[in-house]
Amino acid sequence: MSEKLYRLAPEQCALLVVDIQERMMQAIPARDEVVKNAVLLMKAANILQVPVLATTQYAARIGAMLPEIQAELGGVVPLDKLEFGCFDNGAIAEAAKKLPKTINTIVACGVETHICIYQTVLGGLHQGYRMWVPADGVASRAEKNYQTGLARISEVGGIVANTEMIIYEWLHKAGTPAFKAILPFIK
């Protein structure tokens, strides 16, 4: 059986929300879709007890995370970086190492697909994580960069899916308390 044939399990996953900041998102044509799906992933992660990490890119210049994202973070403090790849930043790499040992998969959403998301996927793969990217939860300023980023993520071994695929795989079945809690946000 192929090593790619596995089911996402919430207890093996963490969600990484990358650089969804006001100044950055002003230049993203798919801003609304990315924010909506990042919020949905964060809501599902909170319900299913999937740990969440968040980053900002040079917050002193680009600003804080969007209020919609900040509202879902609870007590999670975004870690600021200058590096494009999250795992190239010492504090972020250290935060990932402090995740429960059962976590072998990181779902990364945010911007930009061809820069920070791609380099984060590459870094996560080097650290031994399975890396998943929801195509509808990431974006770039230009469509060609977005498409090239997704293609390269797949080439290096990242898994490109979409938000609902990830959430429903986490849920595994209908009728559970978690399913009932998440369903109003998906409708």
Q: According to the 3-state scheme, what is the secondary structure of 101-112?
A: CCCCEEEEEEEC
pLDDT tens for residues 135-144? 999 999 999 9
Give the single-character DSSP code of 135: G
- What does the pLDDT read at residue 2? 58
Give domain status of residue 16, yes or no: yes
Dihedral of the alpha carbons of 122, 44, 65, 96, in degrees to the nearest 10: -40
Structural domain total, the chain: 1
CATH of the domain at 122: 3.40.50.850
Per-residue pLDDT at 160: 98
* In contact, 108 and 16? CB cutoff 8 Å: yes
* Domain residue limits at 151: 10-186
C-alpha–C-alpha distance, residues 125 and 122, integer Å: 5
* List of the chain residues with pLDDT < 70: 1-4
Q: C-alpha angle 166/167/173, rounded to 5°?
A: 115
